[in-house]
Amino acid sequence: MPTGGGKSLCYQLPALIQEGTAIVVSPLIALMKNQVDAIRSLSSENGVAHVLNSSLTKTEITQVKKDITSGLTKLLYVAPESLTKEEYVSFLKNVTISFVAIDEAHCISEWGHDFRPEYRNLKHIIKQLGDVPIIGLTATATPKVQEDILKNLDMSDATTFKASFNRPNLYYEVRTKTKNIESDIIRFIKQHKGKSGIIYCLSRKKVEAIAEVLQVNGISAVPYHAGLDAKTRAKHQDMFLMEDVDVVVATIAFGMGIDKPDVRFVIHHDIPKSLESYYQETGRAGRDGGEGHCLAYYSYKDVEKLEKFMSGKPVAEQEIGFALLQEVVAYAETSMSRRRFLLHYFGEEFDDVNGEGADMDDNVRNPKTKVEAIDQVVKLLEVVRDTKHLYKSKEVVFTLIGRVNAVIKAHRTDTQSFFGCGSDHDEKYWMALLRQVLVAGFLSKDIETYGIVKITKKGLDFIKNRESFMMSEDHEYNESEDEAIVTASKSTGTADELLMGMLRDLRKKVAKKLGVPPFVVFQDPSLEDMALKYPVSQEELINIHGVGEGKAKKYGKEFLELISRYVQDNDIIRPEDLVVKSTGVNSVNKLYIIQNIDRKLSLDDIASAKGINMDALIKEME
């Protein structure tokens, strides 16, 4: 079922109706607490739902056992490691268990994005409890993971229920990650003022840095990661749920099972490690069916960083990690419907013309031109067939363009007649085509062999009976090029012509009243700068080109009133609202200094409050 589709209800309702206690296995303490609180709020008895995990005291454990024995407790949430404790297992053997629910069941599969070895023992523990019914639930399982869940829980003949993974109200967008990413994020949040959002980063350090930059720029944000103590994490989570803050900047430790219905945007500052993670994290947005903007920033440098992190792991784990990461790269770079690409990954077909939410992504709204590629598709399919399903995407593409590497040499593919048959196109072209042919179902990728590409029956039929195949080339994420694009959309440098005309008229009127030539009031470059920056206060006016304190006091009032009215009437976002104040890097005092300078505190007061002399303060400010 998709995120927010009502998985919890599938076990909560039967648990309340049936006799005995239902055991719910869940991987995260925060998630359990959230659900227990929700159920208790609906019941007059607190004992109706309990948690059994490492956070409880002896007294609390005794109370939990008492409530279960008396038949009061209907739902018992446990962490998988708690079930390995002998005392708990022997206690549970002697009470009535209605069924066992395994939440986030994808954690059982090593092919999943969040494999947890302790989930592997569940099968043996559940058997000890006797013949109890089992239900497994997940929002992110590829066909391979679904098969693995059934195998590992020893329930291969179980009935499988599948809802669509499609979330039609979510809008998917991928942007280039440039050095202006912080200003870009701040601008985005200010355009969604007062709305709740989550920003995901991969490292704790980055979480802290981004949270700080947002705070300095007037956005109410808190950090959340595993390095913070439990009390702070709980406090920050509650602040977000209670809407005391708008934005949480977090590592993936945040949000699993958080049921806040009105998260309006999810931003990925760093690209996630897998499409499952991406789907789960973007799934926090718009759970009430309202607006949900999912924005990810992509740079191949991030992918290389993630590959480096994997290098210390066992080979099999590295191979799986690498295969999952390549899918994320394909998703980011593709120019086809993102929704169709994502749903295909989870084994679901999607009509990208009439499907629900079909126009809700950046690629569909800004389509790239398509070209006929029937001959190239046949070439690609023949190469996969003739190389006997030996290769992953990279080697298939190398075979087409005639590039040799160790793997190709070992199989002597470079001696074959078809080697280099696609050298009239480059590597990027073939990779884009291969991805689109995969989604069309002519090829399949086998995750058990870490991403080896195989031809399907549909692909073999295509070779025999050719038909039109329109492909669009992938996006190229070139930082320097894209930066020009990003900045161009921010400000073209030309002044607002309409306002410029109004300012000229006012200058004329003021000059006439004072009996001086108009340029004495303000010169043209000053008016142009006003029409660009929209100053609305004396301080802002002083910073305008060619306007000093004297001029601002003498002539400023009427000009400021005019600009202020104009800004309001035309809903203009002023550049001043978008100024990103940097937090500097290694200073403990930076936030304190910036905030107090903003509050107009004297430098002497700031220095003495921090116990430093004026020279040290100036150095710090620099």
**Angle between the N-to-C axes of helices 427-440 and 338-345, in degrees from 0 to 180, rounded to the nearest 10:** 60
Q: Could you report the per-residue pLDDT of 4-29, keeping only the tens digit for each?
A: 778 889 999 999 999 999 999 988 77
pLDDT at 42 over 80: no
Q: Could you report the per-residue pLDDT of 173-230, keeping only the tens digit for each?
A: 999 898 889 999 999 999 998 888 999 998 899 999 999 999 999 999 999 998 888 8
Q: Which domains does the chain have, with CATH numbers?
A: 7-152 (3.40.50.300), 170-364 (3.40.50.300), 370-474 (1.10.10.10), 497-576 (1.10.150.80), 590-621 (no CATH)
Neighbour count for residue 412 (Cβ, 10 Å): 9
52 vs 63: CA distance, rounded Å? 11
Q: Could you report the per-residue pLDDT of 567-622, keeping only the tens digit for each?
A: 988 888 777 776 666 665 445 577 778 777 877 788 888 888 878 888 888 888 87
Q: How confident is the model at residue 464 (pLDDT cuts 50, 70, 90)?
A: very high
Q: Which long-range contacts (CB under 8 A, 24 or more apart) does 492-498 make?
A: 493/532, 495/527, 495/528, 495/529, 495/531, 495/532, 496/531, 496/532, 496/534, 497/531
89-93, 117-121, 368-372, 385-389, range with the lowest pLDDT: 117-121
Instruction: Look at residue 341 in the predicted model and tell me its pLDDT.
Output: 93
First CA to last CA across the chain, in angstroms?
Answer: 53
Rg (CA), the chain: 30
Per the CB < 8 A criterion, the answer to whether 439 and 344 are in contact is yes
Q: How confident is the model at residue 280 (pLDDT cuts 50, 70, 90)?
A: confident
Percent of the chain predicted with pLDDT > 70: 92
160-169, 183-192, 534-543, 600-609, range with the lowest pLDDT: 600-609
Of 199-213, 286-300, 356-370, 581-595, highest mean pLDDT:
199-213
Widest Cα–Cα separation across the chain: 100
Q: Which residues contact 378 (CB under 8 A, 6 or more apart)?
A: 462, 463, 466
